[in-house]
């Protein structure tokens, strides 16, 4: 029996198609999945795709674009219709950039134009404070941080938007792997902070889309 | 110096006042805080308040109402203005009821009317399926579950709303304390599920408010 | 003294021979073990065998067949007698395929014909529901899932067979390594779900054999 | 809306009714649930019920029987039909008796007659060896152990039946809470050992029922 | 042999006497220790002393003063000489007050006059910012916080003093017990933050004393 | 079937009788066990026995002696023959005394006379150094410590005896429960340190007996 | 938007510039950051820089010096002014040398001259005792240790200086990764020990600088 | 200052020289250490030495012998005097052989002749039972096991010798890394089992030497 069983009804049910998690699928599985998408001329987004696997896929599906930093592989058979709604994506440090980009690429894939603000973490608060007026115009804020993951707490105390916190696996020692940032975000003393799995930039973008479709319907 | 330093500007900044976490504050601290609120005739919500401490507070602040199951203590000096936006609060099992009620009481405190659906967990899927049309009318869904915390994954695959998953400390053995449900919700294969800390019904309600204020502004 | 001490009485005692765990044995140890099996013309199954070690073994024991996805290496000196009893092996996602195949190969090694159903996880429930009539004809169900491991709970609420849940190490962030799926399966609100170690597809097959020998004796 | 939503179709679907988890439900919730069962004259089993709550329930539902060691509360409006199939329930130590009894009471509730063998752990192997012939007549073995949880490995190497291992929270230091026994059972070098959550005697019994209904249909 | 073996040379070696950890000593042990101190007319500080044990000790050593919030018990046979050096003790929330007071009482016991600033956590940053000029006059800052423990990161980015971070066991869910705050403080992106064990207000005070003795010698 | 199945051959096989773990056995179970010992006039040692249960047992078995600090309950129908071999039992702090006494009582129960040295931990090294000549005359050293568990490393670098390290659950914050001391002892940079479970003073004594029987046979 | 947002005001606020964490930044990010520093002729310190990335940077910024053991990369456009204050850096074992050097290089980068004492761990106490007089002349002590991390406890009981403990990831088994050493240092029975994240030699140096600037101002 | 500070007095104090832990030392450090040993013509044992580093050392110190399975590197300038005392080293599975050999090589290095019994784990008990008479002649037993680590419990119930249990990192899923085996051994229901860190075969040998020197002095 085939190892592939794509949920092509997902876009109709949920408003976005099935996203393909690339990290632990084999080349053969990914090729077989992309064949199904190509046959239907359906846009495809693969996340967490390692560079060596991307190289092989680009050989067979040269219509795709691979972002080596974000580890996303996107094939657009048809450009997504532009959507209303602005997501601000903020990161604590430069090293969080891959996850910022994963979120931003996912939003772009679905027709949204994100605003990205890198490296405005709590160790130098003035950097965040300088951006507050711009951030306040966003519909949703995605806040990406590694190490101690304090940025969502500070942002959540200053701005009233829905805030989606994404811990990253950036850090070492007890921070390594992102659990410290995750637990800090879940424990935030700022109220109503929403949290995603470690390094789940794509999921944060999809959650933002769930919110914006309601907001801007 | 006083041990109390209330952030009275929070309502203006964020759209909801400072909520009082009751579990680890002393009676003397809570009384002093409530005096500040009473002086300003500001509505107060205490969460995670143990029954024995509630009894003492009710003696001094009989204008409050204590819900022993939800462990919330609410003083309304002025009824909150009714707000638009409907939150559906769903629970996997009967034992999750305290957290459902914490979320519902928080929403009511802020002027929203939640719809609660108890005990419609995945071990008997037909119970959930029977409620899908009603749930689809909600603006935001709060999904509360203990044990293996599978309910948000199933709901997230069927409905397109923003979904806020709240793990509870209901369960025993490896489920005890709620970490299994928390990690399962963070790892959900359903896309765009937002997660709160264990037993944080109040935070889920405030996150829903952040979303609805944007949606229904 | 020899580092090898094979339990050749196991088949008589338990109904299946000693299975060889390959991951942490050296090439020299594996060759020495296979020599013992070859001398007795006894069928051999090595599990968790890395590709580079398989290449070496195939040089010396070309009568074996290596499945690189399942990481099983099987030598059949005599084809196993066909056995009664049907095991359905279900997986939540495509990335779980290696463990599905490990279970299936083990069953085939012992004379059973498994039915495999890939990629029918809870994020798109209709895929599972479409297979329920077929699944209901099985004697035992092996349910393989990574990430939040919710599939056994849903299956366990719908079908009455013995259900053996196998968590996989598929996922990232807090799911990485399979502990979240394992703990979710152990905490299942569905009753009577049996659980194996992470990625233990072979063990699930052997447990199914223990059950079917009683059932179909 | 009611906090209770009983799955009365479960017996038809799965062969056993919904079991009531008592530990984290309130008296009011349990009374309301038992009212529903009484109205339908349906047999009820509550597990993990604390003594103080049992005392209150016995006042309102004196037709029930509470086993304080097993913490089970059973109401039989109609005696369960006797079923074929024998389960042997073995324990490593005397302190594991509550979980042995939870399993045995669940089996009796459903019409099975279990055989219980207490205190035959691996520190004095002759005790187990003396029981092997009796144990070999059973259809399924439930093996209950705390501390290092070694008993299922030894039993699994000697007997060919389906073996359901139940770790208990008996022990102290690193054994406290049962995680060491759980992980040891999951890691067993004996093949095909099935594992339940810590202290889940009831679940082990239901899993055995799933097996025996197939075996003895 | 006696169970008590006091290190009376510690004050000479380190500049402060042996502090008595009260939580896990028996009444008999504590009485015997205080007898030794009384005989030498040496000032004594017991930390983490439960209220019920304090009551008994006050009967035999009425010269002591018990602070039930800080759980410190102090006997001053001779008032400590006033020392130079100012420690600012800051807390994120009101519920952290016991640990603030443990630190402050320890400092006072040794002749220092601490400045305490309660409840100026990151969810309302203006409260901290209002105190910056005062805090900048301190020689050492002790920063006490529970939940996500973000306050030291923010303080450490704004002020140049030695900063001693003390996580508290205030919080629930994944914050419970203080490990999240501890790990967040250890992972701080602010440079040069020093960290103590959870709830170790006394140790923070002694570390500050080690610093100030050098600074103000 | 009886819940009790005593291994009366253990003394002959191993040189010491079955020790009774009291913490998680019921009064009824303990009484039944002690009846078996009394009938055979066999000496009995119960460990980890809570005070309230000891009170009941003393009513029925007044020939026993309960040590409330060590939580041991000992019945000597016949005084143990005096044995050769001296065990030094050392503790880091006064609060470790219960475990020192559990070890010492176990040794005395079996006919050995231990030497106990309390409160000679590493924070005041001279206390240990003063005892080195006495300690060097012992056959085996049991080193008991909580908190960071550093004492065995220091002793192991100075003395050549077999060293049995016993971590205790004394401490708070990350030390709470004894895991930090346990892991520190297992990781000791001093060579050849043997480690027991947390708070297992009795096991340390029995291990010492295994050693001394060989040494002094 | 640029991924780089350097906090050039940090030196003025805190007394030391922004240190660049190299481990999880890309070559492109690091080059871009160093361009900013070069443009301002500002000294730069990169920590945790892997050798392969250092090689590339040395090509473009040959004015830097890479220490492969410490994994630091330092560019001095202007030699730091010599500062008063002596830090003793002590290590338990030879394998801790990389972290000793990271601390020492950071101190040198900022104008301090550290004294380093390698391999004087607790398994051979005389090595430490021989250095006590020299160590007593230091203003601050940084104590670096892996395995069980006992050295800070012993040093803290003998010397009165501020002591900054740095656990390292040196060790195997339960010591692997450094958590055992970290937790042991946090739980130290010696009073007033300050602790850094695992392997954070640079942070320890910066904390020492915070102390010395106050001490030697 | 030199990074090397060898404790040459250790042999005199403890009866065995300083053993060199090779895993996390650099080639330069190891060469420098071996130079010191060569200069004194002192026998050297390096443990946990990776193959690539051994190759380099063999170039400069060809008098050494490297065992790639055990990862030990031994230089004997003088053959160790033969010692009395027999250690039996037992392993549960073939994959544990590296740790058996590490223990055996350490014993041989110090003049003892170990007896090794591989692959006699609990899944086929008869293999152990066949060796009991031989094992009973040993002075000390070292029992090495991975996976669930049950072997020491069974051995400890049958034989009266001092038993040193060594968990190995053999296994997968929850067994991976050896923590399950470690915790199972610490929790053993067999009395008086002594435990070492994961994979610490060398330490087990040195502990055995501490015992045998007393026994056979």
User: What local confidence, expressed as pLDDT, does residue A172 receive?
Assistant: 97
Count interface pairs E-F at CB distance under 8 A. Answer: 58
- Judging by DSSP bridges, how do beta strands B64-67 and B72-75 pair with one another? antiparallel
Chain D positions contacting chain B at CB under 8 Å are: 1-7, 9-10, 18, 21, 23-26, 29, 33, 48, 169, 177-179, 182, 197-200
Which among A94, A123, A126 has CB closest to G4? A94
pTM for the model stands at 0.97
C-alpha gyration radius of chain B: 18
Mutate to test the interface with A, among E92, E186, E187, E198 (most CBs of A within 10 A): E187
Burial-class residue G115 by CB neighbours within 10 Å (0-12, 13-18, 19+): middle
Min Cα–Cα distance to chain E from G119, Å:
24
Min Cα–Cα distance to chain F from D56, Å:
23
In angstroms, the CA A88 to CA A90 distance is: 6
Please determine, for residue C80, whether its predicted confidence score (pLDDT) is greater than 90: no
User: What local confidence, expressed as pLDDT, does residue F83 receive?
Assistant: 93
Q: Using an 8 Å CB-CB cutoff, list chain A residues near C118.
A: 1-5
User: What local confidence, expressed as pLDDT, does residue B87 receive?
Assistant: 97
Min Cα–Cα distance to chain H from G22, Å:
21
**pLDDT tens, A45-88?**
999 999 999 999 999 999 999 999 999 999 999 988 999 999 99
Please determine, for residue D217, whether its predicted confidence score (pLDDT) is greater than 70: no
Of the listed ranges A78-82, A196-200, G156-160, the one predicted with least confidence: A78-82
E204-to-D211, E153, G196, G205 alpha-carbon distances in Å: 59, 17, 14, 19
Claim to verify: residue H141 and residue H56 sit in the same structural domain: no
Burial-class residue F43 by CB neighbours within 10 Å (0-12, 13-18, 19+): middle
Chain A positions contacting chain G at CB under 8 Å are: 69, 93-95, 97, 115-120, 123-124, 126-127, 146, 170-175
**pLDDT tens, C11-39?**
999 999 999 999 999 999 999 999 999 99
**pLDDT tens, C187-198?**
999 999 999 999
User: What local confidence, expressed as pLDDT, does residue G216 receive?
Assistant: 56
Chain D positions contacting chain C at CB under 8 Å are: 10, 13-16, 19, 139-140, 157-164, 182, 186-187, 191-198, 202-211, 213-215
Convert chain G into a string of H (helix), E (strand) and C (coil). Answer: CCCCCCCCCHHHHHCCCCCEECCCCCHHHHHHHHHHHHHHCCCEEEECCCHHHHHHHHHHCCCEEEECCCCEEEECCCCCCCCCCCEEEEECCHHHHHHHHHHHHHHHHCCCCCEEECCCCHHHCHHHHCCHHHHCCCCEEEEEECCCCCHHHHHHHHCCCCEEEEECCCCCHHHCCCHHHHHHHHCCCCCCEEECCCCCHHHHHHHHHHHHHHHCC
- Are residues E25 and F95, on separate chains, in Cβ contact within 8 Å? yes
- Are residues F188 and G156, on separate chains, in Cβ contact within 8 Å? no
Claim to verify: residue D145 and residue D184 sit in the same structural domain: yes
What CATH number does residue B151 fall under? 3.40.50.1970
* Domain contains F3: no
Please determine, for residue H217, whether its predicted confidence score (pLDDT) is greater than 80: no
Claim to verify: residue C202 and residue C107 sit in the same structural domain: yes
**Residues in CB range of C47: below 8 A, 6 or more apart:** C19, C20, C21, C22, C23, C71, C72, C102, C106, C202
* Domain contains A14: yes
User: What local confidence, expressed as pLDDT, does residue H1 receive?
Assistant: 61
- Domain termination residue (choose one: D33, D52, D75): D75
- Are residues B187 and C124, on separate chains, in Cβ contact within 8 Å? no
**In which band, very low, low, confident or very high, does the pLDDT at G215 lie, cut at 50, 70 and 90?**
low
Chain E nearest-CA residue for A129: E125
Mutate to test the interface with A, among C67, C93, C94 (most CBs of A within 10 A): C94
Claim to verify: residue G91 and residue G186 sit in the same structural domain: yes
Q: What is the mean pLDDT of chain A?
A: 95
Claim to verify: residue E70 and residue E96 sit in the same structural domain: no
User: What local confidence, expressed as pLDDT, does residue A216 receive?
Assistant: 56
Min Cα–Cα distance to chain D from B197, Å:
19
Q: Using an 8 Å CB-CB cutoff, list chain C residues near B157.
A: 122-125
- Are residues G148 and F147, on separate chains, in Cβ contact within 8 Å? no
Give the structural domain span for H31.
10-75
* Domain contains E1: no
Please determine, for residue F6, whether its predicted confidence score (pLDDT) is greater than 70: yes
E and F adjacent (3 or more CB pairs under 8 angstroms)? yes
D and H adjacent (3 or more CB pairs under 8 angstroms)? yes
- Residue H199: name the closest of D185, F140, C19, C24 by CA: C24
Min Cα–Cα distance to chain E from F92, Å:
10
**In which band, very low, low, confident or very high, does the pLDDT at C199 lie, cut at 50, 70 and 90?**
very high
Cβ–Cβ under 8 Å, residues F113 and F86:
yes
Cβ–Cβ under 8 Å, residues G165 and G185:
yes
- Percentage of the residues of chain C whose pLDDT score is greater than 90: 93
Chain C nearest-CA residue for D183: C197
**In which band, very low, low, confident or very high, does the pLDDT at E215 lie, cut at 50, 70 and 90?**
low
- Are residues F125 and G158, on separate chains, in Cβ contact within 8 Å? yes
Claim to verify: residue C63 and residue C42 sit in the same structural domain: yes
User: What local confidence, expressed as pLDDT, does residue H2 receive?
Assistant: 86
Claim to verify: residue A42 and residue A142 sit in the same structural domain: no
What does the angle CA H44 – CA H50 – CA H54 come to, to the nearest 5 degrees?
55
Which DSSP letter does residue E18 get? P
Element (H, E) at E108: helix E97-109
Chain B nearest-CA residue for C170: B187
pLDDT < 50 regions, chain B: none
Which among B187, B191, B196 has CB closest to A16? B191
- Are residues C150 and B154, on separate chains, in Cβ contact within 8 Å? yes
Q: Which residues pair with F75 in a beta bridge?
A: F44, F64
**In which band, very low, low, confident or very high, does the pLDDT at G2 lie, cut at 50, 70 and 90?**
confident
Which among E10, E23, E182 has CB closest to F172? E23
Claim to verify: residue G91 and residue G22 sit in the same structural domain: no
- Are residues B157 and A13, on separate chains, in Cβ contact within 8 Å? yes
Claim to verify: residue G150 and residue G197 sit in the same structural domain: yes
* Domain contains G81: no
Q: Using an 8 Å CB-CB cutoff, list chain C residues near H117.
A: 1
Claim to verify: residue F17 and residue F60 sit in the same structural domain: yes
* Domain contains E186: yes
Q: Using an 8 Å CB-CB cutoff, list chain B residues near D185.
A: none
Claim to verify: residue B201 and residue B122 sit in the same structural domain: yes
Min Cα–Cα distance to chain H from D143, Å:
15
Chain E nearest-CA residue for A120: E189
* Domain contains A93: yes
- Are residues D95 and F4, on separate chains, in Cβ contact within 8 Å? no
Min Cα–Cα distance to chain D from H163, Å:
14
* Domain contains D149: yes
User: What local confidence, expressed as pLDDT, does residue B1 receive?
Assistant: 61
Chain C nearest-CA residue for H91: C3
Of the listed ranges C135-149, H3-17, H174-188, the one predicted with least confidence: H3-17
- Are residues D9 and B126, on separate chains, in Cβ contact within 8 Å? yes
Claim to verify: residue B106 and residue B41 sit in the same structural domain: no
How many structural domains compose chain H? 2
Q: Which residues pair with E57 in a beta bridge?
A: none
- Report phi then psi at G74, rounded to 5: -125, 130
Which among H95, H97, H118 has CB closest to C21? H95
**pLDDT tens, D98-118?**
999 999 999 999 999 999 999
Cβ–Cβ under 8 Å, residues H182 and H189:
no
* Domain contains A152: yes
Q: Using an 8 Å CB-CB cutoff, list chain B residues near D4.
A: 94, 118-119
**In which band, very low, low, confident or very high, does the pLDDT at F215 lie, cut at 50, 70 and 90?**
low
Region C94-119: mean pLDDT is 97
User: What local confidence, expressed as pLDDT, does residue D1 receive?
Assistant: 61
Q: Using an 8 Å CB-CB cutoff, list chain G residues near H25.
A: 94-95
What is the side-by-side order of every strand in the sheet holding E20-21? E20-21, E44-47, E72-75, E64-67
Region H117-146: mean pLDDT is 95
- Residue E77: name the closest of E48, E118, E34, E135 by CA: E34
Region F122-143: mean pLDDT is 95
Q: What is the mean pLDDT of chain C?
A: 95
Chain H nearest-CA residue for C26: H95
- Domain termination residue (choose one: A24, A55, A75): A75
- Are residues D175 and H153, on separate chains, in Cβ contact within 8 Å? no
Query: Which chains does A contact via 3+ CB–CB distances below 8 A?
Result: B, C, E, G
Which range scores top for mean pLDDT: D198-212, E202-216, G115-129?
A: D198-212
In angstroms, the CA D48 to CA D200 distance is: 10
B and A adjacent (3 or more CB pairs under 8 angstroms)? yes
**pLDDT tens, B118-162?**
999 999 899 999 999 999 999 999 999 999 999 999 999 999 999
F173: region left, alpha or beta (phi > 0 left; psi from -120 to 50 alpha): left
In angstroms, the CA A185 to CA A188 distance is: 5
User: What local confidence, expressed as pLDDT, does residue H214 receive?
Assistant: 78
**In which band, very low, low, confident or very high, does the pLDDT at E30 lie, cut at 50, 70 and 90?**
very high
Please determine, for residue G1, whether its predicted confidence score (pLDDT) is greater than 70: no
Cβ neighbours of G187 (radius 10 Å): 29
Chain A positions contacting chain C at CB under 8 Å are: 1-7, 9-10, 18, 21, 23-26, 29, 33, 48, 169, 178-179, 182, 197-200
- Are residues D172 and F199, on separate chains, in Cβ contact within 8 Å? yes
Three-class DSSP category at E6: coil
């Amino acid at each position: 029996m085939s190892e592939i069983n794509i949920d092509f009804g997902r876009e109709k049910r949920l408003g976005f198609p099935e996203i393909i998690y690339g990290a632990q699928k084999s080349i053969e599985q990914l090729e077989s999945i992309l064949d199904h998408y190509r046959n239907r001329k359906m846009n495809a987004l693969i996340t967490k795709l390692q560079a060596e696997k991307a190289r092989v896929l680009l050989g067979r599906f040269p219509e795709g674009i691979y972002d080596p930093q974000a580890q996303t592989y996107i094939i657009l058979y048809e450009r997504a219709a532009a959507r209303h709604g602005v997501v601000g994506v903020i990161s604590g440090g430069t090293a969080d950039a891959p996850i910022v980009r994963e979120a931003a690429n996912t939003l772009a894939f679905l027709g949204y134009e994100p605003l990205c603000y890198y490296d405005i973490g709590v160790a130098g608060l003035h950097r965040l404070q300088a951006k507050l007026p711009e951030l306040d115009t966003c519909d949703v804020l995605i806040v990406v941080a590694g190490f101690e993951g304090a940025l969502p707490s500070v942002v959540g105390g200053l701005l009233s938007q829905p805030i989606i916190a994404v811990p990253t696996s950036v850090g070492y020692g007890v921070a390594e792997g992102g659990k410290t940032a995750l637990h800090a975000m879940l424990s935030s003393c700022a109220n109503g902070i929403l949290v995603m799995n470690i390094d789940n930039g794509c999921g944060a973008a999809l959650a933002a889309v769930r919110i914006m479709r309601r907001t801007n319907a």
